Each structure stands twice: as structure tokens, then as C-alpha cells.
Amino acid sequence: MIITVASGKGGTGKTTVAVNLALSLKTANLFDCDVEEPNAHTLLHPAAMHTSSVTVLTPQVNQEKCTLCGKCAEFCKFNAIFVGKTKTMVYNEMCHSCGGCALVCPEDAITEIPRPIGQIHKSTIENVNLLYGELSIGEPIATTLIQAVKNHIDPEAVNILDAPPGTACPVIETMRESDFIVLVTEPTPFGLHDLSMTVDVVRELKIPFGVIINRSGIGDEGVVDFCKQNRIPILMEIPYDRHIAELYSRGIPFVIEIPNWQKQFENLFVEIGRLVKNGL
Ligand code: SF4
Ligand code: SF4
């Protein structure tokens, strides 16, 4: 089972939901796919980490062999390789590591070499196996690292994916292959605006989904009305509560301190299972 927790923008409580859900289950794998700003670990406080480097293959040009024929640059759809008057240059930050330039080079002047783009950190905290990616500063392509994180998904286990905020490529990369998507929003006009954009994306992916309203009580009925009109299940409402907010500010998941919430997240998981079984 793969459950992705997503939201149209940051700060809606997406990570809080993912962490509290993981902690409420007997055992779960939690993947923080927000590789540009991972923060699930700040709520779980892992004592020890196992860290490994993630590399991508990047072309390196042997200038002595290169005849400046231009075939590599002609092939590259990402303009990541430039053939000048005296030299051929590769722009690593634009390269998607497709390997095509090396294949088309008639002089065999291009070799692909591994280049580190980030790291993967692993740890186990009580019943949760946490794994998160951390993109190196200046690396613009997050999707490769997200794929590397997702390679650790165990199809036999419960896998909870904390998606990056927004609706761009990294979010879609995270959501792809999920069995269910939980969209976390706030009951405000801004929340509704972001939710409606995310719903459009999820519908394109044809994955069953439902909504969790966080900080319920602070805004208006717009999100509830939208969900009713579009027949989107509201899976849970987390009230705007001083105790929950205080725990969050101290980096403590609220299921640990407020035990009745653990039961509610267990019920949420059962409901997700039911919706997955019923399909879209
Ligand atoms: S590996 Fe692919 S993306 Fe990178 S420079 Fe070569 S052709 Fe372009
Ligand atoms: S295809 Fe090979 S020989 Fe031609 S410009 Fe590119 S690196 Fe040089």
C-alpha cells in the first residue's frame, strides 16, 4: 500500500499528518520526498542515521577526441551540451542523464561519469522506518532523487510518502504509482484555491483521494462545500487547537501526547483501505 500525503502549498500540516499517521500504525515506512526541504525527521528525532550518496551519470567530453561535429548538441533536448569553436561543454545542472549524447558521438569522445546530487538518510524510530532524500545545494532537478527515495518502497508494507508542496514535477513524481492520495488543506479561500488546483492534478493521475482539513474552525465553509459539490470524501478534520499547535512548535507529533488521536489515525487508515478497495 502506498499512501501519498500532499498539499497545494507548504505549511498546511502535510508532514504533521504523514508523521502522525505513520506513528499510529503497527509499523510503517515513511518517505520524506520533499527533497529540497525535508522535515519529517524534525518531528521524529532519529538518534542514528545511515546515510548514502545518490549519483547520476553525467557526460564528460574528451576534448582531444572531440572534432566539434555538433551531433551531441543537436541530439540534446535539454540544451545541456554546447559545442563552441574550440571546446564542447556540458552544463551539469541542465543534464537529465539520458545518455543520448554519448550514444550519438561518432568519435566516442563522451564518457558518462557518476556525479553526486544528494543523499539518502535512513533511520528507524519506534515503529517507523524513516527514509528521506536531501538534494545538494544548487542541484535543480529534484525528481531523480525522489525516484531514488521511492526505490526503497516495500510493496508488502505500508508506505507513507510525504510529497513536496505544490503541483509541479516533483509532486507528480511522488504521487505516481500511489494507491491513495491524502490532500491536506486549510479551510480558507487560499486553502481552497490550492486544493482545487491539486484536485485537478490528482484527477489526471486517476488515483483515489480524499481530503483532510487542518486547523479546522479558523476559516469558512468553502472547502467543505467544494468537497461536497465534487463528491470528495473529507477523511478527517484536525481542529485549530492550542495544545496541538504547542506540540508542533516543540517538534512533538500530537498522537504521542493526545492518545485519542492515535485511534482516529488508525480509523483513517482503515477508511483509506476501504476507499482503495472501492476504487475511484
Ligand atoms: S546525457 Fe542527455 S541530457 Fe545530458 S547532455 Fe547528454 S543528451 Fe543532454
Ligand atoms: S558528438 Fe562527440 S565529437 Fe561531436 S561535438 Fe559532441 S563530443 Fe565532440
Please report, for the domain that includes residue 190, its CATH number: 3.40.50.300
Q: How many domains does the chain have?
A: 2
Is 74 domain-assigned? yes
C-alpha separations of 255 from 2, 43, 247 in Å: 21, 12, 10
Output the pLDDT for position 280. Answer: 59
Residue 145 CA, ligand 2 centroid: distance in Å = 29
| Closest atom of ligand 2 to CA, residue 83 | 5
Pair 201, 256 in one domain: yes
Task: Give residue 135's identity as a one-letter amino acid code.
Answer: L
Residue 9 has pLDDT above 90, yes or no: no
* Structural Rg of the chain based on CA atoms: 22
Mean pLDDT of the chain: 93
Residue 84 CA, ligand 2 centroid: distance in Å = 11
Pair 217, 100 in one domain: no
Per-residue pLDDT band for 217 (boundaries 50, 70, 90) equals: confident
Is 28 domain-assigned? yes
Pair 78, 165 in one domain: no
Structural domain including 146 reads 2-54+122-278
Is 214 domain-assigned? yes
- Ligand whose nearest atom lies closest to the CA of 99: 1
pLDDT digits (tens, 9 = 90+) for 87-100: 999 999 889 899 99
| Closest atom of ligand 2 to CA, residue 71 | 1
Average pLDDT over residues 146-152: 95
Ligand 2 pocket at CB < 6 A: 61, 66-72, 83, 88, 105, 107, 109-110
Pair 129, 180 in one domain: yes
Residue 119 has pLDDT above 70, yes or no: yes
Per-residue pLDDT band for 28 (boundaries 50, 70, 90) equals: very high
Per-residue pLDDT band for 158 (boundaries 50, 70, 90) equals: very high
Average pLDDT over residues 156-182: 93
Is 220 domain-assigned? yes
Residue from 77, 94, 98, 104 to probe ligand 1 pocket by mutation (most atoms less than 8 Å from CB): 98
Output the pLDDT for position 219. Answer: 80
Pair 76, 189 in one domain: no
Task: Give the end of a domain, one of 46, 77, 108.
Answer: 108
Atom 2, ligand 2: residue with shortest CA distance: 105
Name which of 6, 3, 7, 5 is nearest 192 in CA terms.
7
pLDDT digits (tens, 9 = 90+) for 231-279: 999 999 999 889 998 998 898 999 999 989 999 999 999 999 999 988 7
Is 6 domain-assigned? yes
Pair 91, 213 in one domain: no
Between 259 and 158, the more confident residue is: 158
Output the pLDDT for position 6. Answer: 94
Pair 89, 180 in one domain: no
Pair 101, 180 in one domain: no
Pair 153, 238 in one domain: yes
Pair 203, 239 in one domain: yes
What are the strands, taking DSSP E only, across the chain? 2-6, 28-32, 50-61, 81-83, 88-90, 110-125, 128-135, 159-162, 180-185, 209-216, 234-239
Lowest mean pLDDT among 1-15, 43-57, 93-107, 117-131: 1-15
Is 117 domain-assigned? no
Residue 109 CA, ligand 2 centroid: distance in Å = 6
Count of C-beta atoms within a 10 Å radius of residue 161 = 26
Pair 244, 269 in one domain: yes
Is 114 domain-assigned? no
Pair 126, 214 in one domain: yes
Cα three-residue angle 7-191-232, rounded to 5 degrees: 70
Residue from 60, 62, 69, 87 to probe ligand 2 pocket by mutation (most atoms less than 8 Å from CB): 69
Output the pLDDT for position 161. Answer: 98
